[in-house]
Structure 1
Amino acid sequence: MPRPTCSRCQRPLGHCLCSLIPDLDSRTRVLILQHPSEVGHALNTARLAALGLRNAELRVGEVFDDLPQLLVQPDYRACLLFPCEEVVALTGYAPNEKPLLLVVPDGTWRKARKLLHLNPSLAALPRVSLDVAAPSRYRLRKAPEVGALSTIEAIVTALDVLEAPQCFDALLQPFDALIEGQIAAMGQDVFIRNHQR
Structure 2
Amino acid sequence: MSRARCQRCLRPDNHCLCALIPALDSRTRVLILQHPSEVNHALNTARLAVLGLNNAELVVGEVFDDLATLLDVPGYQARLLFPGEGAEALSAQAGEVKPLLLVIPDGTWRKARKLLHLNPRLAALPRVTLDNPPPSRYRLRKVPGAEALSTLEAITHALHTLEPDRSFEALLRPFNALIEGQIAAMGEETFRRNHA
Length-normalised TM-score, structure 1: 0.97
Task: Report whether the alignment pairs 1:159 with 2:173.
Answer: no
User: Secondary structure of 2:93's match?
Assistant: coil
Q: Is the 8 A contact 1:93 1:99 kept in 2?
A: no
- CA drift of 1:146 comes to 1.9
Name the counterpart of 2:65.
Answer: 65
Greater than 6 Å deviation, 4+ residue runs: none
- CA drift of 1:68 comes to 1.0
The CA distance in 2 between the partners of 1:73 and 1:96, in whole Å, is 16
Name the counterpart of 1:103.
Answer: 103
The CA distance in 2 between the partners of 1:13 and 1:45, in whole Å, is 18
- CA drift of 1:94 comes to 6.9
User: Secondary structure of 1:59's match?
Assistant: strand
User: Secondary structure of 2:92's match?
Assistant: coil
User: Secondary structure of 2:33's match?
Assistant: strand
Q: After alignment, is 139-148 or 53-62 more displaced?
A: 139-148
The CA distance in 1 between the partners of 2:66 and 2:102, in whole Å, is 16
RMSD (CA atoms): 1.0
- CA drift of 1:69 comes to 1.4
Amino acid at match of 2:147: G
- CA drift of 1:167 comes to 1.2
Name the counterpart of 1:181.
Answer: 181
Q: After alignment, is 60-69 or 87-96 more displaced?
A: 87-96
- CA drift of 1:141 comes to 0.7
Number of aligned positions between the proteins? 196
Name the counterpart of 1:127.
Answer: 127
- CA drift of 1:145 comes to 1.4
Q: Is the 8 A contact 1:28 1:102 kept in 2?
A: yes
Q: After alignment, is 68-77 or 92-101 more displaced?
A: 92-101
The CA distance in 1 between the partners of 2:98 and 2:36, in whole Å, is 31
Amino acid at match of 1:103: V
Name the counterpart of 2:24.
Answer: 24
User: Secondary structure of 2:103's match?
Assistant: strand
- CA drift of 1:93 comes to 3.4
- CA drift of 1:129 comes to 0.3
Gaps of 5+ in 1: none
- CA drift of 1:96 comes to 5.1
- CA drift of 1:85 comes to 2.2
Gaps of 5+ in 2: none
User: Using a 3 Å threshold, how does the CA distance of structure 1 residues 95 and 101 change in structure 2: closer, same or farther?
Assistant: closer
- CA drift of 1:153 comes to 0.2
